[in-house]
Amino acid sequence: MAFINPAKLRVKEPRDGWKGRFFHSKKMTFAYYDVSAGALIHEHSHANDEVWNVIEGRIRITVAGKAKTLGPGSAAVVPPHTKHSVKALTDARAIVVDHPLRKAIGGVKL
């Protein structure tokens, strides 16, 4: 699959307020999220490298105890096995990339 139109992918909601469209390359998972203001992802960690790219709105992300508010054009890198949490301060859109690929997020099979 060389070309993807995420708008045509089925929407899944792995957490309340986090509506995503997901696809994989050979080694990465891509999530295109539409996020409702106030939606949270609890503090957790996992074995994946994870990069957050904010497209619209404002998201507060805490990585290893350091919090930062990200807006359009901002990104955050979460190293493997690092505690992190996320809160949407406004309605937002973000692209999240994980390496290696993930088979599930929030208990939802991808």
Which pLDDT tens digit goes with each residue over 13-49?
999 999 999 999 999 999 999 999 999 999 999 999 9
Distances (CA, A) of 64 to 14, 43, 45: 23, 10, 10
Domain locations along the chain: 11-109
pLDDT tens track for 49-84: 999 999 999 999 999 999 999 999 999 999 999 999
Q: Which residues contact 8 (CB under 8 A, 6 or more apart)?
A: none
Q: Is the pTM of this model over 0.75?
A: yes
Residue 100 reports pLDDT greater than 70: yes
Task: Say if CB 89 and CB 60 are below 8 A apart.
Answer: yes
Percent of the chain residues past pLDDT 90, beyond the cut? 94
Q: Where are the beta strands (DSSP E) in 1-44?
A: 12-15, 18-24, 29-35, 40-44
- State whether CATH 2.60.120.10 applies to domain 11-109: yes
